[in-house]
Amino acid sequence: MEKKEEKLTFSDKLGKWILKNRVILISILVVLFVGGVVSAIAFSAVKSNTEKKYAELYALSTEYNSVTVNVELSDDEKNQQSDDILAKVLKVAEDNSKTGLGIRAYMLAAEIQFNKKDYAAAAASWDNAAKINPKAYTAPLCLYNAAVCYEELGNIDGAIANIKKACESENFTLKSKAIFNLGRLEEGRGNFAAAAEYYNDLVQNYSSDEKAKFAKSRLIFLTEQGKLN
């Protein structure tokens, strides 16, 4: 009875952790977006033009946030206004597809699309943001968020490919979370040996991290179930 209670507790914690970290990741990118606006305004080269473009994008972001929390609007009105804002944001992204402004615009578009549960479009926007400058500190986060979308779409191969690519970046600050999710995804599709490799990586190289504790629990569970030799 005690073991069953422990497993249930772990399962509950794991589910809450995954949901919590999805929310955190979106929040991080909102902060990065605002930080980009501040940085752009402080940047002296072509200052006035840069200020104007970033200010316009920031205004769209503010407008979108206002729409989402406006209790006086019906769902249909919110959807219509969100669609109108999204169209403007995508126009900014497409017109600045080789600059930092384009990165921020695609990130904002992806956030709107994700909230609308248009995961295919959100994944494309996250990927586009990452492609503009693969060395940018935002790139691995965008790739990771695209992976979340691919998982929602049932495209596990796409999710795993994006997470692996994100982990290759030296700028990726969420690597332990990503490695755990690689193990979780492989376990979910029955690739237990591959899952164990990722879990062992966490246990051995991130021993003080919370994810290492989850990984150790998964290894024990898989062994008890006879999934690992």
> How high is the pLDDT of residue 47?
58
Whole-number Å distance between alpha carbons of 228 and 205: 21
> How high is the pLDDT of residue 50?
77
Name the E strands within the chain: none
pTM flag (> 0.95): no
pLDDT 10s per residue in the chain (229 long)? 444 444 445 455 555 444 445 544 544 444 445 455 445 444 454 457 878 888 999 999 999 999 999 999 999 999 999 999 999 999 999 999 999 999 999 999 999 999 999 999 999 999 999 999 999 999 999 999 999 999 999 999 999 999 999 999 988 989 999 999 999 999 999 999 999 999 999 999 999 999 999 999 999 999 999 999 7
Q: Do 81 and 89 contact (CB within 8 A), yes or no? A: no
The candidate with the shortest Cα–Cα distance to 174, out of 9, 16, 29, is 29
> How high is the pLDDT of residue 17?
45
> How high is the pLDDT of residue 12?
52
Q: What pLDDT digit, counting tens, does each position of 150-192 carry?
A: 999 999 999 999 999 999 998 898 999 999 999 999 999 999 9
Whole-number Å distance between alpha carbons of 218 and 7: 10
Contacts of 159 (CB under 8 A, 6+ apart): 147, 148, 150, 151, 185
* Angle between helices 192-205 and 175-188 in degrees, nearest 10: 160
